[in-house]
Each structure stands twice: as structure tokens, then as C-alpha cells.
Structure 1
Amino acid sequence: MTTHGHAQKIDMTQGSILGRAALFALPICIGNVLQQMYGTVDTLVIGNFCDASALAAVATASQPLEIFLCLFLGVGSGISILVSQAAGAGERERMRSLCKTSVFFLYAVGLPLTAVGLLAGPLLLRLMQVPDDAMPYAVQYLSITTLGILGNMGYNFNAGILRGLGNSNSSLLLLGISCVINIVLDLTLTGGLGMGVAGVAVATSAALCLSWLFSVIYIRRAYPELVFSLLPRGFDAAILREMLAIGLPLGLNNALYSLGHVFLQALYNTLGSAFVAGCSVANKVNGIATIAITSYSSAATVFAGQNYGAKKYSRLCRGAWQIPLCSGLVTLAGGLVVTAFCRPLLALFTHDAAVLDYAQRYTYCVLPFTWGYAVFNGIMCFINGIGEIRYPTIVNVLLLWVVRIPAAYLLAWAGYGGYAMVSLSLSFMVGMVAMLFYFRTHRWADIRAMAAAEEHG
């Protein structure tokens, strides 16, 4: 690990693979706990100060915003991949150009996207068949959080740049600030002032915007050589094309994934507010057991990018299975523990018996199989890190549209709609197997050949 100014940078090209991955993943893992915490506080506040329809509204209304954001947040992932490769190769001028172009892209997309979200959001909610009692809350929540799109995208872009540089500690600090702001505003606006869903939405948007501003200040101070700015100052056309070439397929993948979840949510909505609220509560509790997935997946992307950029192919091949496997084992252990004690944990969020029953069923059906998703996602992010986008995109899209959605609707058609969440577990396991087949492709065979040549001098 090297120190750059006041910022710590983890060099993934040397040392113990799992040790460096864990060192990088730990701050992100703690950050995921904080994210879960303030998402959990949102749900706790709504569950205790509002009714089931408000809980269902927030769970539903967040999904149209994800569709708007996913396509372009994929570009943020593309930036992170390019930064990690440039860092591995020691190309500082390229890193400056990447940062400048990312700021330009943020404003070029974020501002129009906010306008589109405000206009099209309510229409999407109607297409999703949001229950009548939840619709007013859903429209209110979506409208307010849409105003925070620029902050949301800006924070995610900047966090991606920092991760690409090998600095995951700073993202933890920024997220901690965001978490505290969100919790204080949640309790003040919704718990104290009785603003209900609007208070939670304002708290979420304000926290994201402030995190974005803090991230800009941090990058400017910790990495002055990047000449990072808050406002756009031009862009590099060639780098923008590279960002889009990698990021748009990732974003399209994410957008199609989110759109698929809109179809699933539409099915869930036909089962009533209690079912939707139960799934929402279960997701909050299940998130406790799956905090390692995102952190190890981020480590896999940066590890792959840095070692690919540094042309350390032998190390690249070893990390390809070690990091995803470690993520799967940690997730399996957490999933089994949380499943065993899920009922008292779920009861913290709601006292509605019907909601609790659905939440417990969801946990039993999904959480014990989430380790398969951890392995799947770890391999996918590793592959993305070496610049391979097509294969994981195809697998991810087919997984959702050929396995998960048809299985859920088939269960509903057969009269087992209350068990539609089983489709998630099925897709996790099928996806893991499909992603393993990447290691039989010609691209991976070429990398293994370069690794063999490297080992033999």
C-alpha cells in the first residue's frame, strides 16, 4: 500500500491477492453497512411513523429512478475501469483527462435526465400498477428524489474514480458523512416534523448532493495533480468515446436489469401492499448478510484493471477465482446466520403480521442462495475490469429476461404468486454457472497463454 498525499492507495499488482482484496474491500464493506443503515433507517422511520402503503410506495418509487440512472451510472463504472487500468500503467496525464471528461459528462447527462425524470416518472408508476393507496406517496417520493439526480450521479462517478485509484478509504469517509446527514434529516423531518414520505425523500436527496460536494473537495485536496473541478471545463473526445464504449454497455445492462425489476415489481404490486412491503422489509434485513458482495466485486474490478494494465497476467489468472470464491463463502456464512434469526430482525421494521409473514417467506426462499449471486457478480466485475463487456452483458440480460421474469410470472400463473421470489434464487444459481463458462472462451485462453509465457520468462 502506498501513500499519495493524504490519500492511501492500495496497489493490487503485488502482495497477497486475498490480503490486498480484503484491505480494499473492508472500507467498502463498512460503507455498505452504512448504506444499509441509512436505507434501514428510512424503512424504520416509515414503518413506525407511516402505514404499509407508504412503505410499499417507497419500495416501488425508487425503481423508476434506477432505470433513469442505471444507463449512465454504467459510464461511471467505465470511468473506474479506465482509471484503474491507467493507474496500473502509471499514465498520469490520461488520468487527468479521464477526470475532466467525467465532469463534463456528469452535467451533459445529469441535468436533462432530471427533467425527463420529473416528466416521465409518474407515467412509469402508473404502468407499474402501483396500488391505489400507495400511488400519492410514490409520486411524491419519486418527484423529490429525482431532483437529487445530479448529486447521485456525481457522487457515484467520483467514488468510481477513487476506487480506480485504489483508494477505498475515502469513499467510506464520504459515505459516513452522507449516512449521518440522512439519518438526522430522516428523524427530524419525518419523525419530528411529521413530513412522512416527503421527509424521507428530502433526506435522501440532500445526503447524496452533500456527499457529491464533499467528494469533489476531497479529490481536489488529496490528488491536486488531477486538477479536478466541480464545474465542467471541456472534455477529451477520444476518452469520451472510450468511456462510452465501456460504460454504455454496462449501463444498458443495468438499465435492462432495472426495467426487468419494474416488470417484477408490477407483478408484486398485483399481490397487494402487504406483499410489497414484506419484500421491502426482507431486502433491508437480507442486505445485512450480503454486504460483502459489492465490496469484493469492486475489489475484483480494480484488481483486474490494475493487473491487466500492468500486464501481470499470471497474477490476474489467480485472482480470477480467488476473489469471487471468497465473496461467495463470506456471503454464504452471513446468509445462514441471518436466515436463522430473521424473524426478530424483521420485527424491528413492522408489527403488521401479514407483512412479517411475507418478509420471512422471502428471506427463507432467497437468502440461503445469495452466495451464488456473490460468485456470479464477482466474476462479472472481474471480467469487466479487463475491459470485457459483451459476455457478462449477454449473460446478465438473458438471466433476467429468460430465467427470472418468466419464472416469476409462471409461478403467479400457476397460483403460487406468493412465492414469486423463488425466481431470484433460481436466477442466482443459473447465472453463476453461466458466468463460469467465460473461463472456456478464447479471450481467457489468450490471457492464460500470456500468463504461461510470463511464468516461463
Structure 2
Amino acid sequence: MTQAPATLRAIRRRHDREIVALAVPAFGALVAEPLFVMADSAIVGHLGTAQLAGLGVASALLMTAVSVFVFLAYATTAAVARRVGANDLQAAIRQGMDGIWLALLLGAAVIAVVLPTAPTVVELFGASDTAAPYAITYLRISALGIPAMLVVLAATGVLRGLQDTKTPLYVAIAGFIANGALNVGLVYGAGLGIAGSAWGTVIAQCGMAAAYLVVVVRGARRHGASLRPDAAGIRASAQAGVPLLVRTLSLRAILMIATAVAARLGDADIAAHQIILSLWSLLAFALDAIAIAGQAIIGRYLGADDPEGARNVCRRMVQWGVAVGCVLGVLVVISRPVFLPLFTGDPVVKDAALPALLIVALSQPICGVVFVLDGVLMGAGDGPYLAWAMVVTLLVFIPAAFLVPALGGGLTALWGAMTLMMTVRMLTLWLRTRSGRWLVTGATR
């Protein structure tokens, strides 16, 4: 039976309120980590070029590690949201604790690897002789904060699954302020140099992790959930995260290949590519915020045995993704005369970046659909399909990317290949959502 127009409008308004309530705070929290790096760079940059170069190498390695383990947030969000939908908050928080214990174990393993191998890793990354000592110092100290960073990821997933994205925003803001103050005090006040910056960031991250744990522990006590590590639960969390790890590594491989191809095109092209990639990443935060809302809401609907509600909210979120993508694309076109001079005054670099920038603008609606459907399938716990789809996308992108220099194409052609990659992702995700096979209901998948 067809629903009345007034009823449909009421349903859409309810979905819109949920999406906005979750997506807007999520966007603020997503921006926090890049802001940490920017603040550290601004403070360390006044120490000297070698120190800043060392920070750049170490930060790139740390950011890669964080991106690899982002499944801690994604998998936990979906699992917790399902149990919230099933109205079993005790099991929801218990599931979240399993993710947090897994984060601690993985963090300890990373420390055990990074501390002895830091000089080798920095050398492999191509740090100069003058920058390498600073990179090693920063990397070794910052590695001590990796368990806290991973706990933050897992605990963020818990709160998102509980339909709370405001607390992560507040914690992120407090962490950013604390990080800036500690860096200034330790780098300049205490005279610790780049080591002070690393210690400041570690302390701020530990403070953020502690704040999250206070919130989660209070919830556990309120609902009678155990805080003790459970081997079976931790193992299940790890197994759920493996497909998302494959997905993330495939995506990272695509971005690395794109950068490698751009480097072969020439200095002006690689410089322009880095500018465009920075913008593309910034735009991704806005779209990823909608995806995070999708993870939380879809998981809740499926946990409540409401596949039709999940399908309806999926449809509405796709509309949001397209609309936000169109707005972002228009903003890119309008702001390009102001945006490019912020990064370079070289007319050759500007000429290389401009047409590729227009391709990025035109592709934003596609990106909007991709991010939304990615979040929907994550919320449904459809990790194995996401892993398979991303591997297929990688296999399509590799020959397309390497044909660019072989056929004499430039940066515009490379970003055309990037748009092809996003189009393939959109098709694989659309086929899956259209099939309905992701609509698996119940407290667990």
C-alpha cells in the first residue's frame, strides 16, 4: 500500500533530523586529527627546516598507521548500533569494550614493532641525514601514544553506535586545545624541541582516551556490562575488522599509486597533485560525516528488525550525498581563484592544477554517493563485500593510472582515472544496495 504524501514527508523530515544531528558533530570530530598535525607543524616549523622535515616524515608514518586501523571505529559502530536497535544496551557496550581491548592489544603490538625499527623505517621513507634524527625522535616518542590513538578510534565507534557524535566532537575540541598548549609549553617553555612536540601530542591523546573511557565505563556500570577482556569477543571484533582492513589498504594503495604516477609526470604535476589531493581529502571529510551517520542509523534499523526503514533511510542519505556533492563541486569551482594561490605562486603549477581541479569538482556528486553507500554497507556489517569491491576497484585503477604517462597524459588524465575509480566504486556499491542482500536483520549479523 502506497504511503500518503504527508506521511512520506514526515518520514523524510525525521530522517533528515537524524542525519544532520549525527553528521554535523561527526564532521567536526573528523577534522580534529588533521588539525593536530597542522598545529604541530606550525609550532615545530619555527625550530628549523630539518626539524619540520623530520616531523613531516614521522607524521606521515603515524597518519598511515591510524588510517590502517580505522576499522576499529567502523566495525565497532556497526556492531554496537545493531544491539542498540535490538534494545540491548548491555550487549552494545560489551561489544564496544571488546573493540577497545582489541585497540589496546594492537597498540601494544605497534609499539613493540616501531621502537626498535624506527631508524630503518625512517631511512626507507627517504628522510635526509639532517632530518632523520628528528624523525626518529618524534616517531619513537609518538609511538607511545598509539594505544591511546587506537582506543580513541574504538571508543569513538562505541559512541557513534550509541547514536552519540557530540561527545567525540567535544573530546576532539578539548584534545586540540590541550595539544596546542602542551606543544608550545614543552617545545619552547621547557626547551625540549621536537621531542616536546611529540610528548605534548602523546599526553593530549592519552587525555582524550581517558575521557572516552570515563564515558564508556559509566555506561557499562549503568547497564551492568562487564569491563573485563573477553577472548571470544576480542577475536570476533578482529575478524569483523579484517575485511575493512583489506578495504582500507586497497584504498591506500590507490592513493599511493596516484601519487607515484604524478611524480613521474614532473615536478609541476606532482606539486599540483599534492594541492588537489589535499582539497580532495578535505572534501572527503564532509562526505564521510554523512557516511558515519549512515553507519550508526543503518545498524540501528537492522538491529531493530526493520529492513524497510533501513532501505528508506539509505535512499534519503543517497539524496543527501548527491546534494552535498553538488554543493561542494560548485564551491570548488567558485573558490579556485582563491584556493590555488594559497598553495603556490608558480603559474606552471597553477596551469597544471586548474583543469584537474575542475574534474574534482564535477566528480563530487559521484563521491557523495560512494561515501554514503560505503557507510550504509559498513553499518550493515557487509565488510566482506566492501573488501571484494575495493580490490576490484584497485585492479581497474592500476592499469588506468599507469596508462596515463605511457600515453602521454598529464595530471588531468590522472584525475580522470581517479574519477573512473570512484565511478567503479559507485557501481559496485549501488549493485549491492540494489540487490538487498545487505539487509540482514538482528542484533548480530
Q: Same fold (TM over 0.5)?
A: yes
* Equivalent residue for 1:410, pick from 390, 394, 403: 403
Residues 1:81 and 1:131: Cα distance change in structure 2 (over 3 Å): same
* Equivalent residue for 1:102, pick from 81, 90, 99: 99
Aligned partner of 1:248 in structure 2 is 242
Residues 1:408 and 1:186: Cα distance change in structure 2 (over 3 Å): farther
Structure 1 residues without counterparts, runs of 5 or longer? 1-12, 451-457
Deviation at 1:304, TM superposition (A): 0.9
Q: Once the two structures are superposed, what CA deviation does each residue of 1:140-171 show, in whole Å capped at 9, x if it has no partner?
A: 65444433211210111111100000111101
Q: CA–CA distance in 2 between the matches of 1:208 and 1:118?
A: 18
Deviation at 1:124, TM superposition (A): 5.2
In the alignment, is residue 372 of structure 1 matched against residue 369 of structure 2?
no
Q: CA–CA distance in 2 between the matches of 1:382 and 1:20?
A: 14
Q: CA–CA distance in 2 between the matches of 1:92 and 1:280?
A: 44
Aligned partner of 1:215 in structure 2 is 212
8 Å Cα contact 1:131-1:272 kept in structure 2:
no
Aligned partner of 2:7 in structure 1 is none
8 Å Cα contact 1:59-1:280 kept in structure 2:
no
8 Å Cα contact 2:93-2:219 kept in structure 1:
no
* Equivalent residue for 2:16, pick from 5, 15, 18: 18
SS of residue paired to 1:16: helix
8 Å Cα contact 2:102-2:238 kept in structure 1:
no
Aligned partner of 1:303 in structure 2 is 297
Residues 1:96 and 1:26: Cα distance change in structure 2 (over 3 Å): closer
Q: Give runs of aligned pairs for residues 310-389 of structure 1, distance below 5 A.
A: 310-348=304-342, 363-389=357-383
State the one-letter code of the partner of 1:412. Answer: P
Residues 1:371 and 1:62: Cα distance change in structure 2 (over 3 Å): farther
Q: Give the number of equivalent residue pairs.
A: 431
Q: CA–CA distance in 2 between the matches of 1:357 and 1:45?
A: 32
8 Å Cα contact 2:265-2:405 kept in structure 1:
no
Deviation at 1:220, TM superposition (A): 3.3
Residues 1:175 and 1:442: Cα distance change in structure 2 (over 3 Å): closer
Q: Once the two structures are superposed, what CA deviation does each residue of 1:23-62 show, in whole Å capped at 9, x if it has no partner?
A: 11111123334455445545666788866x9878766654
* Equivalent residue for 2:176, pick from 175, 179, 190: 179
State the one-letter code of the partner of 1:157. Answer: A
Deviation at 1:211, TM superposition (A): 1.5
Q: Percent identity?
A: 23
Aligned partner of 2:5 in structure 1 is none
SS of residue paired to 1:371: helix
State the one-letter code of the partner of 1:407. Answer: A
More displaced 10-residue stretch of structure 1: 162-171 or 419-428: 419-428
Aligned partner of 2:163 in structure 1 is 166
State the one-letter code of the partner of 1:24. Answer: L
Residues 1:47 and 1:67: Cα distance change in structure 2 (over 3 Å): closer
8 Å Cα contact 1:346-1:356 kept in structure 2:
yes
State the one-letter code of the partner of 1:28. Answer: A
Q: Give runs of aligned pairs for residues 120-159 of structure 1, distance below 5 A.
A: 120=117, 123=120, 142-159=139-156
Aligned partner of 1:80 in structure 2 is 77
State the one-letter code of the partner of 2:388. Answer: I
Q: CA–CA distance in 2 between the matches of 1:262 and 1:368?
A: 22
Residues 1:191 and 1:260: Cα distance change in structure 2 (over 3 Å): farther
Q: CA–CA distance in 2 between the matches of 1:191 and 1:401?
A: 49
TM-score (normalised: structure 1): 0.78
SS of residue paired to 2:381: coil
Q: CA–CA distance in 1 between the matches of 2:208 and 2:250?
A: 27
Q: CA–CA distance in 2 between the matches of 1:133 and 1:422?
A: 38
* Equivalent residue for 1:430, pick from 415, 424, 428: 424
State the one-letter code of the partner of 2:405. Answer: A
8 Å Cα contact 1:332-1:370 kept in structure 2:
yes
Q: CA–CA distance in 1 between the matches of 2:118 and 2:344?
A: 28
Q: CA–CA distance in 1 between the matches of 2:349 and 2:27?
A: 29
More displaced 10-residue stretch of structure 1: 273-282 or 416-425: 273-282
State the one-letter code of the partner of 2:417. Answer: S
More displaced 10-residue stretch of structure 1: 158-167 or 259-268: 259-268
8 Å Cα contact 2:250-2:390 kept in structure 1:
no
More displaced 10-residue stretch of structure 1: 358-367 or 242-251: 358-367
Q: CA–CA distance in 2 between the matches of 1:361 and 1:200?
A: 39
Residues 1:388 and 1:288: Cα distance change in structure 2 (over 3 Å): closer
Deviation at 1:316, TM superposition (A): 0.9
TM-score (normalised: structure 2): 0.80
Q: CA–CA distance in 1 between the matches of 2:410 and 2:53?
A: 17
Aligned partner of 2:4 in structure 1 is none
Residues 1:105 and 1:50: Cα distance change in structure 2 (over 3 Å): same
Q: CA–CA distance in 2 between the matches of 1:25 and 1:45?
A: 31
SS of residue paired to 1:311: coil
Q: CA–CA distance in 1 between the matches of 2:141 and 2:401?
A: 31
Structure 2 residues without counterparts, runs of 5 or longer? 1-10
State the one-letter code of the partner of 2:363. Answer: F
Q: CA RMSD in A?
A: 3.9
Deviation at 1:309, TM superposition (A): 0.4
